Amino acid sequence: MLSRTSSARQAVAAVARLARPQMRTFIAPTVSRRADFVQELYLKELKAYKPIPIKESDSVGHVATFSLPKTPKSPEEADLASSLKEYENMAVEVEGQEGADASAPAAVVEDWLVEEEEEEGAHH
């Protein structure tokens, strides 16, 4: 009989253990219902929100009106005719000739690389 009563107690304890988690899961939906309530409240307020309509006069005083700047005058075009005439009257310079005086003898070109001779008596 002891075995029957102990097995009956074990069966009752097992059923009680299984019943406890079911109670916990029964409470859990209320938590999600609260989350749904907050979500529903948020969505209700979001749908009820009416933004203030924007008027065209709202930007007056905050934004400068745009106006195109004047086109700048090119410095080259200002004196184009006189520059062209000056270019035509320029003397042609050719390398090897100095100015327009081609009959004069060419100037002596100095050698810019001058090697100094070493003195042999300076060695000790």
**Inter-residue contact 7 to 14 (CB < 8 Å):** no
> Residue 49 in 3-state DSSP?
coil
> What pLDDT, on the 0 to 100 scale, is given for residue 47?
95
Predicted confidence (pLDDT) at residue 107 exceeds the cutoff of 80: no
The pLDDT confidence band at residue 105, using thresholds 50, 70 and 90, is low
> What pLDDT, on the 0 to 100 scale, is given for residue 30?
59
Predicted confidence (pLDDT) at residue 72 exceeds the cutoff of 70: yes
For residue range 28-49, list pLDDT tens digits in order.
555 556 678 899 999 999 999 9
CB count in 10 Å sphere of residue 22 = 8
List, in sequence order, the alpha helices (H) in the chain: 2-48, 75-78, 80-89
